[in-house]
Amino acid sequence: MNFLDVIYGVVMVVAAPWWMRKKRSGRRERLGHTPPLPPKSRKPRIMLHAVSVGEVSALRSLIPLLTEQAEVVVSVGTDTGIARAQSLYADVCTVVRYPLDFSRCTRRFLDAVEPDAVALVELEVWPNFIREANRRHIPVAVINGRLSAKSFRGYRRLRPLLRKTFASLSIVAAQDEVYQSRFIDMGVAESQCVATGSMKWDAVDLDRAAAGVSDEARDIAASLGIDLHRMVVVAGSTADEEEALLHRACPQGVQLVCAPRKPERFDEAADAMPGCVRRSAPGSGDRSAGRFLLDSIGELGAVYELADVVVIGRSFTLLGGSDPTEPIALGKPVVIGPSVEHFASIVETLKSAGAIVQTQAAGLTEALAGLCADEPARSRLVAAGLACVQREQGASARHAAILRELAENKTRAL
């Protein structure tokens, strides 16, 4: 036990009334009791840590580039992230739950996983884990590195305590030069910090834009009662009061599908859209109301295929926005709100390319009405968006090369 363990323990006791109410599985795994993994082969073993669903999905283009030459273990922190990782990668790699950052938990976890290199997706820099990995001479990298302005302000307040942790990272591959400079300010050596672009661009499949509406999407539409001959607005990863905002802003006669980001908000979202039909209960609601709730996990990508216009959720709140790249790559005109802190670089790139519409909440009604009524405008956004995605792809290949080199250097040193 160290001083940090004591701090963690105090925090857990104080926060117990909150976290004990939350339904969480894998409590034993969170303590580092990871089930036995397959025996290591002659290939190096690379561990990729993705905290939740968004980071898990970003690995879709990276993992195939690694699995031919390495064993891959994906660790995830959240229940929804675990489910997503298992659905995407269980056939090609091992999926495990990331432990709490108590020193004993991290030791047990690393005893079980035995990685030759570790890649932390976006950030997730936990001091005890990195200290234990360093003790075992396991190189730790940050890939797709991102330090938002809000996170950076918080980390800077703790910089005297965290500088050594950041300095211990073998390499940071940041999404852009702004994030790169923030990692360096936190203590990463300039020679070990590079800007490699975002894997979000690689995680999308441009071929889907030309493929049209899939059978899965058509089945969902039929189950809910969505009329594909009428205009459809799909709002993905909504939060707080965004469903009510969208219900008011959606033009008359246009169908609206809302997909809340968090399952615990499904009932609240349904109340905000009177008469809505729920995916979990297709016979519910009133189909003629034109309001539909996607209260399911893993189907948003298919439902985006049904959209004439997409609205990005969490961007009309103070939550920093959600990832717009998937609907852009599907060939959909996209509207996003003012709160885009978590994807600032991506949104700025799309705006510069004329590939996205950004508006305040007060302007959402006008923005949706304009796009729904103007097919040429929608077509221009689609063309600009597809061209932008194609131009920005390539970060996954750069990250794969970095990780293969780290793992191979580790195995050669043994």
Question: CATH no. for residue 131?
Answer: 3.40.50.11720
Measured distance CA(133)–CA(298) in Å, rounded: 33
Tokens coding 203: 């995680």
197 and 71 in a common domain: yes
Give pLDDT tens digits for 83-123.
999 999 999 999 999 999 999 999 999 999 999 999 999 98
Residue ranges of alpha helices (H) inside 90-199 are 103-113, 127-135, 149-157, 159-167, 177-185
pLDDT at residue 203 in the model = 85
pLDDT over threshold 80, residue 342: yes
221 and 185 in a common domain: no
Question: Does residue 13 sit within a domain?
Answer: no
Say if residue 293 is exposed, middle or buried (CB neighbours under 10 Å; 0-12, 13-18, 19+): buried
The model carries a pTM of 0.80
256 and 146 in a common domain: no
266 and 176 in a common domain: no
pLDDT at residue 414 in the model = 58
pLDDT over threshold 70, residue 267: yes
219 and 183 in a common domain: no
pLDDT at residue 413 in the model = 62
Measured distance CA(101)–CA(133) in Å, rounded: 12
- pLDDT classification of 21: cutoffs 50, 70, 90: low
The answer to whether the beta carbons of residues 196 and 398 sit under 8 Å apart is: yes
186 and 94 in a common domain: yes
Share of the chain above pLDDT 70, in %: 96
Share of the chain above pLDDT 90, in %: 81
pLDDT over threshold 70, residue 359: yes
78 and 188 in a common domain: yes
250 and 159 in a common domain: no
pLDDT at residue 114 in the model = 96
360 and 234 in a common domain: yes
> Domain range spanning residue 163?
25-35+42-202+394-413
Give pLDDT tens digits for 55-75.
998 899 999 999 989 999 999
Question: Does residue 176 sit within a domain?
Answer: yes
pLDDT at residue 409 in the model = 80
Domain count, the chain: 2
pLDDT over threshold 70, residue 312: yes
Question: Does residue 3 sit within a domain?
Answer: no
Question: Does residue 5 sit within a domain?
Answer: no
pLDDT over threshold 80, residue 136: yes
- CATH number of the domain that 233 lies in? 3.40.50.2000
Which string of DSSP letters, residue by residue, matches 271-287?
Answer: HHSTTPEETTBTTSS-G
Give pLDDT tens digits for 192-225.
999 999 999 998 889 999 898 999 999 999 999 9
pLDDT over threshold 80, residue 14: no
- Going by C-beta distance under 8 Å and a sequence separation of 6 or more, which residues neighbour residue 290? 230, 253, 254, 255, 256
324 and 191 in a common domain: no
367 and 255 in a common domain: yes
222 and 188 in a common domain: no
pLDDT average, residue stretch 364-390? 98
Question: Does residue 254 sit within a domain?
Answer: yes
